[in-house]
Chain A
Amino acid sequence: MSPASPSIEAGATARGEWRTVLRHRWPLRLMHWINLACMLALVGSGLQIFNAHAALYWGEASDFDRPLFATELVRDEHGKGRGITRIGDARFDTTGVLGVSARSLDGMNVRRGFPEWATIPGPKSLALGRRWHFFFGWAWVINGLCYLGWSLASRHLRDDLAMQRRDWRGIGRSIGDHLRFRHPHGDAATRYNPLQKLAYLGVIFVLTPLAILTGLSMSPQLDSLMGGFIQLIGGRQSARTLHFIAMSLFVLFTVVHVLMVVYAGPVNELRSMISGRFRVRYPRTGEHGDG
Chain B
Amino acid sequence: MAETTHPGRRSFLRMAAAASTGVLVGCDALSRREGFVDVLAVAEPLNERVQRLLTGDRLVREYPASMISPVFRPNG
Contact A266 B9 (CB under 8 A): yes
Contact A131 B44 (CB under 8 A): yes
Question: A258: CB under 8 A from chain B?
Answer: yes
Residues of B within 8 A of A265 (CB): 4, 8-9
Chain B residues touching A, majority SS: helix
Contact B24 A44 (CB under 8 A): yes
Per-residue A-contact encoding for B20-56, CB less than 8 Å = 1, 0 else: 1101100110010000010111111011000110110
The bracket for how many chain B residues form the interface is 35 or more
Question: A270: CB under 8 A from chain B?
Answer: yes
Q: Contacting B55 at CB < 8 Å: which of A60, A222, A263, A268?
A: A222
Q: How far is the CB of B26 from chain A (nearest CB, A)?
A: 10
Q: Contacting B44 at CB < 8 Å: which of A134, A220, A221, A258?
A: A134
Contact A221 B55 (CB under 8 A): yes
Contact A279 B1 (CB under 8 A): yes
Question: A26: CB under 8 A from chain B?
Answer: no
Contact B51 A131 (CB under 8 A): no
Per-residue B-contact encoding for A1-37, CB less than 8 Å = 1, 0 else: 0000000000001010010000000000000000000
Q: Contacting A120 at CB < 8 Å: which of B16, B27, B73?
A: B27
Could you say which of B12, B67, B73 has the most chain A C-beta atoms within 10 Å of its C-beta? B12
| CA–CA, A270 and B13, complex, Å | 12
| CA–CA, A219 and B48, complex, Å | 11
Q: Contacting A61 at CB < 8 Å: which of B23, B46, B55, B67?
A: B67
Contact B3 A131 (CB under 8 A): no
Nearest B residue to A219, CB-CB: B51
Q: Contacting A134 at CB < 8 Å: which of B9, B47, B59?
A: B47
Q: How far is the CB of A238 from chain B (nearest CB, A)?
A: 15
Residues of A within 8 A of B13 (CB): 262
Q: Contacting A266 at CB < 8 Å: which of B4, B61, B63, B69?
A: B4
Q: Contacting B12 at CB < 8 Å: which of A40, A125, A267?
A: A267
**Total number of residue pairs linking A and B with CB closer than 8 Å:** 101
Report if A122-B71 is in contact (Cβ < 8 Å); known contacts: A13-B3, A222-B55.
Answer: no
| CA–CA, A263 and B4, complex, Å | 10
Nearest B residue to A258, CB-CB: B16
Which A positions have Cβ atoms within 8 angstroms of B? 13, 15, 18, 40-41, 44, 52-53, 60-62, 64, 117, 120-126, 128, 131-132, 134-135, 137-138, 219-225, 227, 258, 261-263, 265-268, 270, 279
Question: Could you write out 26 A-B pairs with CB less than 8 Å apart?
Answer: A41-B27, A44-B24, A52-B76, A53-B76, A61-B69, A62-B69, A117-B21, A121-B27, A122-B27, A125-B31, A126-B76, A131-B40, A131-B41, A131-B44, A132-B27, A132-B31, A134-B44, A134-B47, A135-B40, A135-B41, A221-B52, A224-B61, A225-B55, A258-B16, A266-B9, A268-B4
18 additional contacts (CB under 8 A) given A61-B69, A134-B44, A266-B8: A40-B23, A41-B27, A120-B28, A121-B31, A126-B76, A132-B27, A135-B42, A221-B60, A224-B55, A224-B60, A224-B61, A225-B54, A225-B55, A258-B16, A262-B13, A266-B9, A270-B12, A279-B1
